[in-house]
Chain A
């Protein structure tokens, strides 16, 4: 399969204080690095999942793909075209191919526009003529399983699940090749969650769309993605094929995450790796391996040196000193 998107060693940083304040404080580095050195590839027609807790940099990385934040270094290539440093005019046609489903399903829909206007707005933005707005809008709603009676509804009249579907219809409007879905099921009930995920899979199958799914729900990742990356403080700690990671989680953080969502079975074996403490601040990153403050396998070396990126299986990488000893 061809690579649709290649992200290579991307770093994204945010200012923590103004330029003047930094000079006064003699602070040479008034930045936090939200994403540091993330690399991934997404192939045509596959689903890639980004997993991690809040503040891990998942959303920031995803937003950089469509140019909503600018990385300080690295490269983002879409179909072999470099996106970094592209001006707005050159970027615009590419944005037809990459669509985004935002995290807040209702908040990302303009409260003053009807569903009809919301889902056909992408055509206006890109100056694409459509003959019959209602017909096009009905077609899009039909794709996401909503009846045409919703055309005149306003966002406040929609339930969480319906708002997601409208967001999805808007993302599908320009027949994109890649859809970035930021927490597509957060806040939904389990039965509705299944409907949305099934819909995403069906569309992927029919239209050969690639998905970048951002989520913290591991059960969702397990069933819907081909490959995944686990992020911690802006870095990938483990990447690989989803099946392999679930079968053999290697990084201590992956294990912590996996055992943090208990199975719905009171008699399931609980070999829990209890997480210690909370996520450190990005302003004071821990030295050495950044997970050492919460790791139960920590040893002296972890506090001082940064662990190397190691390949431990086919397309399966992780950054930790020890993987054999833990078993």
Chain B
């Protein structure tokens, strides 16, 4: 972010700067991310919102260096404290994955090995620590108890399929936090769960975040959960960050036309009963044939013909509240 200059003295856990990622496909070069900058301050929960295809997963995969072979990082850097993740060797990456950055995925079965017991997996993940098996086992029990697995000691022998969906997600959280990482990436951690479990998992994450004092990058398209859980929010659209700021900036003083539209569309926000729900007319632009101007121009409802045919500049409206829109230049309230 350009406000980086202002905040430089403040320490960041993770700082993504001007990241652009392309994917080579049969149909041409897909520009999945363009000049994405995201800062994650210590002990803060940063929400990443946007509709499918906006690049949320590409951001996560870039941080973890898990991008597929056809991906090409055009420019930018991802600094974990003072080291650039994009420059790291595989040995260096191995030292941070799971230890300093860990992830919870949407489906816990993708991160748990179905053929190994929970106890084995919980001790294996501590392979870096020079402590004996008994201590590792005890640590696993403590961690499982903390995430709310009853009878943790007995259940160490159980396999993932013997747990319910909610319990599996709790175990995945325990595995992610056992090494006390600086940054926890939660990729739609509750989407696969029922409503009552969803809120239980969010409350659990809230408590654990306070206990472990880690930063969280919370990726979700559920605006209600983001409002409830996050301190900062980053809004992405078609591979670009269009707006970012603290949670109240975004939910009360949204400045970008897309953010406004997105919030209006959420039926949970509409208090009086209506049969006709608002939508965002138009389609997401084709990421292969992009023109080099405002990304939202085709669907924008406030666009005036004065908008220049250039990339919209990033404006800092109030400290920490950034918006990428031509019309916010004059400080207009859109």
A-to-B contact residues, CB < 8 Å? 53-54, 160, 189-195, 197-198, 201, 216, 218-220, 222-224, 242-243, 256-257, 259-268, 270, 272, 274-275, 278-279, 294
Mark B239-279 against chain A: 1 for CB-CB distance below 8 A, else 0. Answer: 00000000110011000000001110111111001111111
Q: Would you call B279 and A191 a contact (CB within 8 A)?
A: yes
Within 8 A of A (CB), among B277-294: 277-280
B164 nearest in chain A by CB position: A278
Cβ–Cβ contact A201 & B269, under 8 A? no
Q: How far is the CA of A267 from the CA of B253 in the complex (A)?
A: 13
Known interface pairs A189-B51, A193-B265, A218-B195; 11 further A-B residue pairs with C-beta atoms within 8 A, sorted by A's residue number = A160-B52, A194-B278, A198-B276, A219-B267, A223-B274, A223-B275, A223-B277, A257-B195, A260-B198, A268-B227, A274-B200
Select which of B203, B248, B266, B267 is within 8 A of A267 by beta carbon: B248
Binding site for A on B (CB under 8 A): 51-52, 164, 166-167, 194-200, 203, 221, 223-228, 247-248, 251-252, 261-263, 265-270, 273-280
- Most chain A CB within 10 A, of B196, B265, B273, is at B196
Flag if A262 contacts B199 (CB, 8 Å).
yes
Q: Which of B223, B228, B277 gathers most chain A CB within 10 Å?
A: B277
Kindly list chain B residues whose C-beta atoms are within 8 Å of the C-beta of A198: 276-277, 279
Q: Are A264 and B226 touching (Cβ within 8 A)?
A: yes
Bound Cα distance from A243 to B274, whole angstroms: 11
Q: Cβ of A190: which chain B residues have Cβ within 8 Å of it?
A: 51, 221, 223, 262, 265-267
> A192–B280 Cα gap in the complex (Å)?
8
> Which chain B residues border A274 with CB–CB below 8 Å?
199-200, 203
Closest-by-CB residue of B relative to A216 is B195
A140 to B234, CA, bound (A): 40
CA–CA, A217 to B245, complex, Å? 28
A-chain residues with CB within 8 Å of residue B199 when the two chains form the complex: 259-262, 272, 274-275
Residue of A257, A259, A266, A270 ringed by the most chain B CB atoms within 10 A: A266
Q: Which of A222, A257, A279 contacts B267 (CB 8 A)?
A: A222
Chain B interface SS verdict (over half): helix
B52 to chain A: which residues have CB within 8 Å?
160, 189
Contacts of A257 in B (CB 8 A): 195-196
Q: Closest Cβ of chain A: how far from B236's Cβ, in Å?
A: 12
Contacts of B225 on A, CB cut-off 8 Å? Answer: 262
Q: Looking at the assembled complex, report how far the CB atom of A45 sits from the nearest CB atom of chain B, in whole angstroms.
A: 13
Check if A197 sits within 8 Å of B277, measured CB to CB. yes
CA A155 – CA B178 in complex, angstroms? 43
Enumerate chain B residues within 8 angstroms of A242, measured Cβ to Cβ. 273
Chosen A-B contacts, 25 in total, with CB atoms closer than 8 Å, are A190-B221, A190-B262, A190-B267, A191-B279, A193-B277, A194-B265, A194-B278, A194-B279, A216-B195, A219-B266, A219-B267, A219-B268, A222-B273, A223-B274, A223-B277, A224-B275, A257-B196, A260-B196, A262-B228, A264-B226, A264-B227, A267-B252, A268-B227, A274-B200, A278-B196
Q: How far is the CA of A195 from the CA of B262 in the complex (A)?
A: 13
CB distance from B55 to the nearest CB of A (A): 14
Question: B167, B252, B267, B280: which has the most chain A beta carbons within 10 Å?
Answer: B267
Q: Select A264's contact among B167, B198, B223, B273, beta carbons within 8 Å.
A: B223
Chain B residues with Cβ below 8 Å from A265 are: 227, 251-252, 269
User: How far does the alpha carbon of A194 sit from the alpha carbon of B267 in the complex, in Å?
Assistant: 8
